[in-house]
Copies of this chain bind each other. A is one copy, B any other.
Amino acid sequence: MTLAAADDAFAADLAAQLPADTLRATEPRYLEEPRGRWTGTSRHLALPRTAEEVATILRACNAAQVGVIPYGGGTGLVGGQIAPQGMPEPLILSLERMNAIRGVFTEENVLIAEAGVILADVQTAAADVDRLFPLSLASEGSARIGGLLGTNAGGVNVLRYGNTRDLVLGLEAVLPDGQIWHGLKRLRKDNTGYDLRHLLIGAEGTLGVITAAALKLSPIPAGRGTALMVVESPTAALKLLSMARSQMGEGVSAFELMSRMGLDFLAEKVPEVRQPFAERPEWMVLIDVGLARGLDPSEALETLFGEALEAGLVSDGLIAQSEAQADDFWQVRERTPEANRMIGAVSSHDISVPLSAIPDFIAKGYEVIGALGDFRINCFGHMGDGNLHYNIFSAPGRNRADHDNQRDEIKRTLHDLCHEMGGSVSAEHGIGRLKVGDLERYGDPAKLSAMRAIKAALDPSGIMNPGAVLRTV
């Protein structure tokens, strides 16, 4: 299948079918991505305001065999939002003007947001009616709902509330042929046919364009508590997690692992972040709990610490005495990626393994990467979900460019290890364009063949985000 370019003639034709100012010249910010690995080439950008306009655009693209890149907040880390070089220039379809919150149904714990709404605005709208929209991640100030759904974003509260897909009741979406699926149901139970919702969520815009979603809200837990605890090892951290969950059940909202390397990087590059312990520990965990009425979170965390101390799992700990202190603790976790970027990783990995395999994975990871040379490793992340960010840096005094020729081998080595242990080489970031080869290497052949059949069935011209997730054929 050969696609045509979104050239000036195509854009002029399409513009004539849409309200004035819907088609525009692309600005540079649509052609860049956070890590600077790709630069796009599209000249034309569509900014629809309604699902009907999206449908008009997809019909025109289908008729002219022009590729379309759905664009949310541009925060993706795997290049899914960037028109690849070397293919016919696609049209960029940004949902940013579809940014209405269409309704809030407080008693139902439901909020309907259009694809262009920024995550932080959904969180605020939920808080305004005394509810919680639990999806939370570093880019929440700029990531948009459509992109978060397209990539099934993860973040820090998955342990308790699930991934993005678990927070969605219904969708409105435009299918590749321009049909609009009016699926914005606010139902907790609806067994009428195949679950198209979950097929579009996580498909990274390759099967259609999500234009709005009915999102689940949650009650805000009555009391919040935050603690940092120094653990002897990842194994001890795992046991601490288990102890915490047996004491507090669903009350454990986040359980993040951090290593001394991350604290060292912060001290060097982001010194304004307060170091929590006088001596930087080898391993520590950040625990966030949200408990029901009648329970005291500080007390619950003290009980946990006491029992963990007795069991030899922890050696030191801090329980936040105020919201400000809790925020300080979270700064340590949330500004780690910034410090990492300033150091400059040779290679970054977003992997998951079965929970019980984490300690073994970390140990073997040090081994196999150590065998390739002298590297520093900052391994941290959402331990409660089995999801680690495993970033590899050059030794002090050297820099990432010194290892350009090793990057592929490093990636391969770590991903092979992860795959052997039953893990995933893309836990929460998706495939995008970065990991198409990884999916081919590690993906189950039957699943891949089903994916290709579904793609061909729903998007026979291959116009939707061409080259993302699946290689164009």
Contact = CB atoms under 8 A, between A and B. Distances in A.
Interface stretch (A116-124, A137-145, A289-297, A322-330): A289-297
Interface stretch (A18-26, A66-74, A176-184, A280-288): A176-184
Given A107-B242, A355-B108, A446-B181, A192 B431 contact: yes
Interface string A381-402: 0101111000000000000000
A186 interface: yes
A220 to B, nearest CB: 8
Interface in A450-473: 450-451, 453-454, 456-458, 469
B443 A107 contact: no
Contacts of A199: 194-195, 198-199, 454
A427 B190 contact: yes
A203 B207 contact: no
A446 B110 CA distance: 24
A349 to B, nearest CB: 13
A437 B165 CA distance: 29
A62 to B, nearest CB: 14
Nearest to A427: B189
A29 interface: no
Contact of A179 (B110, B188, B385, B446): B446
A17 interface: no
A221 interface: yes
A42 to B, nearest CB: 25
Interface residues of A, number: 96
A182 B249 contact: no
A193 interface: yes
A422 interface: yes
A191 B426 contact: yes
A163 interface: yes
A158 B187 CA distance: 12
A417 B189 CA distance: 17
Given A181-B446, A185-B422, A450-B175, A108 B191 contact: no
A163 B190 CA distance: 10
A246 interface: yes
A320 to B, nearest CB: 20
Interface string A208-240: 000000000011011000000000000000100
A127 interface: no
Contact of A152 (B158, B191, B292): B191
A431 to B, nearest CB: 6
B158 A188 contact: yes
A446 B195 contact: no
A457 B456 CA distance: 8
Interface in A395-441: 422-431, 435, 438-439
Contacts of A201: 195
B195 A424 contact: no
A147 interface: no
Contacts of A218: 249-250
A225 B407 CA distance: 57
Contacts of A202: 191, 193-195
23 contacts: A108-B356, A158-B188, A165-B195, A175-B446, A187-B423, A188-B385, A190-B426, A191-B424, A192-B435, A192-B439, A193-B202, A195-B199, A196-B451, A198-B198, A198-B199, A218-B249, A219-B246, A219-B249, A219-B250, A221-B249, A450-B458, A454-B457, A456-B457
In the complex, the 9 A-B pairs of residues with the closest C-beta atoms, listed nearest first: A198-B198, A457-B457, A179-B446, A190-B424, A181-B446, A189-B427, A453-B457, A188-B385, A186-B354
Interface of A: 105, 107-108, 110, 151-152, 154, 158-159, 162-163, 165-166, 175, 179-183, 185-199, 201-203, 207, 218-219, 221-222, 238, 242, 245-251, 291-295, 300, 352-356, 382, 384-387, 422-431, 435, 438-439, 442-451, 453-454, 456-458, 469
